[in-house]
Amino acid sequence: MTAWPAPIADAALHGPAGEFVLRTEPHSEAHPVALLTQFLVAFGTACGRCAHYQVEADRHYSNEFVVLVGPTATGRKGSSWGHVRRLLGRPGTYQSEGDSLCDPTVPPRSLPCPATASPASSPPDPA
C-alpha cells in the first residue's frame, strides 16, 4: 500500500465493522477503507428504512452512499464488495458458511415498520 491515502485511523476500526476489516485485510488485496465503507453501506441497506435515530424532529436513517475510485483493473474495487457480500449475504440467495447477519428464511418487510404503520394496524396503547 502506498503512503497516500494515509492509513486508516484506529478509531475508525471499532465495533463489528472494524473487526471485519482487521480480520479480512490480511487475506485480501482490497484497501481497508474500501472494506470498511462497503461494510457500512451494506449493513445500512440491510437495516432498511425502518431503523433510524431520532434527533429532535428529524429521523436519521442508516442508508448511505459510497463511490470507490481507483485505477481500472488494478484498483481491486470489486474485491472489497465480494468479502462484504460473503459475510452479510443477500436474503433469498446463497449464504456463506458460519454466521450471517441476514436470515434468508425471513421475507423482506415481514416485520411492521413503525414509520409506515397506519394507526389502525398499530397495537393498542397499554395506557
- Mean per-residue pLDDT, 79-84: 89
- 3-class DSSP assignment, residue 70: coil
pLDDT band at residue 126, thresholds of 50, 70 and 90? low
Torsion of CA 112, 115, 118, 120, to 10 degrees: 60
Long-range contacts of 67-70 (CB under 8 A, 24+ apart): 68/34, 68/37, 68/38, 70/31
pLDDT band at residue 20, thresholds of 50, 70 and 90? very high
**Confidence at residue 112, expressed as pLDDT on a 0 to 100 scale:** 53
Higher pLDDT, 50 or 109: 50
- The pLDDT tens digits of the residues spanning 27-69 come to 998 889 999 999 999 988 888 777 888 999 999 988 888 898 8
Angle, helices 77-88 vs 15-24, to 10°: value is 120
Of 38, 65, 46, the residue nearest 108 (C-alpha): 46
pLDDT band at residue 127, thresholds of 50, 70 and 90? low
Q: Is the peptide bond before 5 cis (omega within 30 degrees of 0)?
A: yes
Buried b (16+ CB within 10 A) or exposed e, 88-112: bbeeeeebeeeeeebeeeeeeeeee
